[in-house]
Amino acid sequence: MESIVMTTPFTQNLIALIKSIPKGCVCTYGTLSKAAGNPKGARQVARVLHTFSEKENLPWHRVVNREGKISLKPHEGYEIQQQLLETEGIIFDENNTIDLKRFLWTPTLLL
DNA sequence: AACCTGACTTCGG
DNA sequence: TCCGAAGCCAGGT
């Protein structure tokens, strides 16, 4: 079940990192891109999720923006993501925000 | 084969 | 502290 994809190391690191996000935790685009080797590659995280979430079976719902909020627009996956996270034990406050102090998972840097 | 755009973040004024 | 502009890069058109 090897899914070798012709892409940059950065992108592959990204995929590996996303896969390693523990259940019940979330991670931000910036944190992931930084850990993958590019502090400003946040947008690529979104690309990766779009392109590989199904192919690589990525836990895409565990990726939120820096504010601890879901980046998807309502009725475009927003509610689905929120539900998936709540199922894993993630709590949303009255502003639909996740307490990152509590749920943010910082990936181990790939050396 | 180019150009546009995006589930973002960071930097500079 | 707030807001516009830049950075990143690959998929879709």
Measured between alpha carbons, how far is A50 from A92 in angstroms, rounded to an integer?
Answer: 24
Q: Please report the pLDDT score of residue A5 as a whole number.
A: 66
Q: Please report the pLDDT score of residue A7 as a whole number.
A: 84
Mean pLDDT split into 10-residue runs, chain A, 111 residues: 72 95 97 96 96 95 98 95 98 96 87 51
* Strand B positions closer than 7 A to protein CB: 6-10
CA distances from residue A42 to A12, A63, A80, A108 in whole angstroms, order as listed: 14, 11, 22, 17
CA of A34 to C1' of B4 (A): 25
Q: Please report the pLDDT score of residue A110 as a whole number.
A: 55
Q: Please report the pLDDT score of residue A2 as a whole number.
A: 53
Which residue shows structure tokens 């592959």? A12
pTM above 0.85, yes or no: yes
